[in-house]
Amino acid sequence: MQTFAIGVDLGGTNLRIAAVDDSGKLLEKLTLGTEVKRGRDHVIQEMCNAIEQLKAKYKASGELCGIGIGVPGFIDMETGRVMRSPNLADWTNFPVREVIEKRLSTPVILENDANVAAMGEKWLGAGRQVEHMAMYTLGTGVGGGLIFNGKLWHGMTGMAGELGHFNVFPDGHPCGCGSRGCLEQYASATAVVRMAREAIERKEASEELERLAPDPQQFTSRSIYNLAVQGDTSAKKIFETVGRALGIGIGGMVNALNLPMYVIGGGVASSWDAFAPTMFAEMKFRSSIYSLTSPEQKEFVRSTLITRALLGSDAGLYGAARLPMLEDFTQVEKSRTHA
């Protein structure tokens, strides 16, 4: 081992930290009981302690090249600050990168959580063989990440890849972003539950689906999926809408970018067999580029692959650890001092 890095997944509820070497081998993974709701200073303290611990433990076998931190929300890449994060309100505008760098004397990269998941899948997961890919993370919301030439595409201000807010139904359900009918409103776990509730209100739900509703622990996208695979028509219909929304969203991306791979991860991705048939049908309808390049077509040597993510919730940890390995910090220093 030459070097290793530390990846941090700063979720809405938990803090996870992993030491990963430059060959992609996981050295150690810590899930800290740290409650994010106890506030920023507490979380930073716990995070720094754990990083120091890992740094000391593995220093004999390699050099720590940096720390990558995945954060839910908008990040200002220039200043290393969280611009907006619904789950981490007290982190807004706080100079996270600077504070941690000073404390640990190690370079820190702050990155959006969906972007680090995309990087993880690119490095060690579904995207290992491609240089360009888009990733959709279907969780409480829908996150997105774009990788071009093996690197994250940030756009002008670091806000690129918000694939969850790709518009799929222009007059559809209102979205937290202020728009209507965003992909997130049809393909997230939250959306699956909402659509089930709407079906019940419209009296279009089966008795079984209706029976789940009163108990929030039971009324989850997973249990609705279980009904769908058992053949429940009303549950199946919900996942057809998920598939349709994804097909429209990804079809648009295929038309715009003609990438070799689109990876779908997050909790709802495990309902693949319930939404994928509609998704593929919709993609063929919406994107003639997909029709021409889908794997069953033999016209082109290379196909457009739409595939499931492989790393589960560890994608973000691996991706966060990968970021400092890809960075030339001497160049970063220069650009920061000249800014």
Which residues contact Zn ion (rule: CB under 5 A)? 165, 175, 177, 179, 182
In the complex, minimum distance from the CB of residue 195 to Zn ion, in angstroms, rounded to a whole number: 16
- Give the residue among 101, 68, 89, 88 at the shortest CA–CA distance from 11: 88
Say how many C-beta atoms besides its own lie within 10 A of residue 211's C-beta.
Answer: 13
Residue 148 vs 169, nearer CB to Zn ion: 169
**What minimum distance in Å lies between the beta carbon of 68 and Zn ion?**
27
Which residue number, 188 or 307, has a Cβ lying nearer to Zn ion? 188
Closest CB to Zn ion among 179 and 190?
Answer: 179
Nearer to Zn ion, 182 or 325 (CB): 182
Q: Which is nearer to Zn ion, 191 or 238 (CB)?
A: 191
Which 3-state string (H, E, C) describes the chain?
A: CCEEEEEEEECCCCEEEEEEECCCCEEEEEEECCCHHHCHHHHHHHHHHHHHHHHHHHCCCCEEEEEEEEECCEEECCCCEEEECCCCHHHECCCHHHHHHHHHCCCEEEEEHHHHHHHHHHHHCCCCCCCCEEEEEECCCEEEEEEECCEECCCCCCCCCCHHHCECCCCCCECCCCCECECHHHHCHHHHHHHHHHHHHCCCCCHHHHHHCCCCCCCCHHHHHHHHHCCCHHHHHHHHHHHHHHHHHHHHHHHHHCCCEEEEECHHHHHHHHHHHHHHHHHHHHCHHHHHHCCCCCCCCCCCEEEECCCHHHHHHHHHHHHHHHCCHHHHHHHHHHC
Q: Please, which residue, 191 or 196, has the CB nearer to Zn ion?
A: 191
The torsion angle over the Cα atoms of residues 309, 5, 72 and 74, rounded to 10 degrees, is -110
Of the two residues 7 and 143, which places its CB atom closer to Zn ion in the complex?
Answer: 143
Shortest distance in whole angstroms from residue 142 CB to Zn ion: 9
Least CB distance to Zn ion at residue 175 (A): 3
Nearer of residues 182 and 242 to Zn ion, judged by Cβ: 182
- Closest distance between Zn ion and the C-beta of residue 143, in Å? 12
Least Cβ distance, residue 185 to Zn ion (angstroms): 7
